[in-house]
Amino acid sequence: MRAVFIVGTVFMFVAILLFKSLKIVDNRAEKRADKNLIKVMKEFFREKKTKVCYILGGAVNFWWALIYIYIPILIIESGYTAKYVGYFLFAVAVPVLFFEYFFAKFAGKHGFKKIFFIGYMIMGVLAILSFFINNLLFILALLVLASIGVSMVEPTTEAYFFDITPKNKRDKYYGPYSTTIDVNYALASFLGAIVLSFLAFKFLFLLFGFIMILVALLSLKVKNVIESKKK
């Protein structure tokens, strides 16, 4: 296990050296930031389109809590060793790695609404299907397939935020928008713990599945922005 931390540290140092060697310069003119956090948050959530975007962008992090917190627990409790957790987490990342770029380009040409709906619906349906399956390996296979849905929404939700937010508000709103990552991850962790306090583990799949389907239905209300038409 120590080797994992050593390898991770090496990659971090390589990333630092690479960043330094690229000599990246932020040439934007400095702007005075609005330091009234409460005012900015109120303004952000007052607008319907940014509220919807906040939910769409955060729901994928809600899903990752299932994958990175609860599924490893299920694997270990089912009698498998820690290395199988590593195999699963690697497998989950593969569809994201191969399909994110494709779906990001597709959304830019054809619009975001259909991508959001299909992506979250895939995750929701496969999670609910996992509720009815008792074989752990089949469940893990379904969750790996669900990563195809993740690859549809993870790169596109943030792009959608920048498309629907006026340029003069992007810097101000990006901070509040970014909190959706930690808020949804924490919320999923808390709700999952509540479910496990009273019900069997498989009911987690219903929780996460229904949440994903609700978000999929919510995505039908967004404006179908097509980036290629803006150029």
| Amino acid sitting at position 105 | K
Lowest mean pLDDT among 20-29, 41-50, 52-61, 173-182: 20-29
Model confidence at 126, in pLDDT bands (50, 70, 90)? very high
pLDDT of residue 155: 87
Amino acid identity of residue 39, one-letter, is K
Question: Per-residue pLDDT tens for 160-201?
Answer: 888 888 888 888 888 889 999 999 999 999 999 999 999 999
Listed by start position, the domains of the chain span: 35-230
Task: Give the residue, 85 or 44, on which the prediction is more confident.
Answer: 85
* CB count in 10 Å sphere of residue 87: 12
pLDDT exceeds cutoff 90 at 149:
yes
Residue 224 reports pLDDT greater than 80: no
pLDDT in tens, 66-97: 999 999 999 999 999 999 999 999 999 999 99
Residue in 30, 74, 56 with CA at minimum distance from that of residue 184? 56
**For residue 190, what are its two tokens?**
């808390």
Share of the chain above pLDDT 90, in %: 64
Nearest to 163 by CA among 61, 62, 56: 56
The CATH number of 35-230 is which of 1.10.10.10, 3.30.1380.20, 1.10.1660.10, 1.20.1250.20? 1.20.1250.20
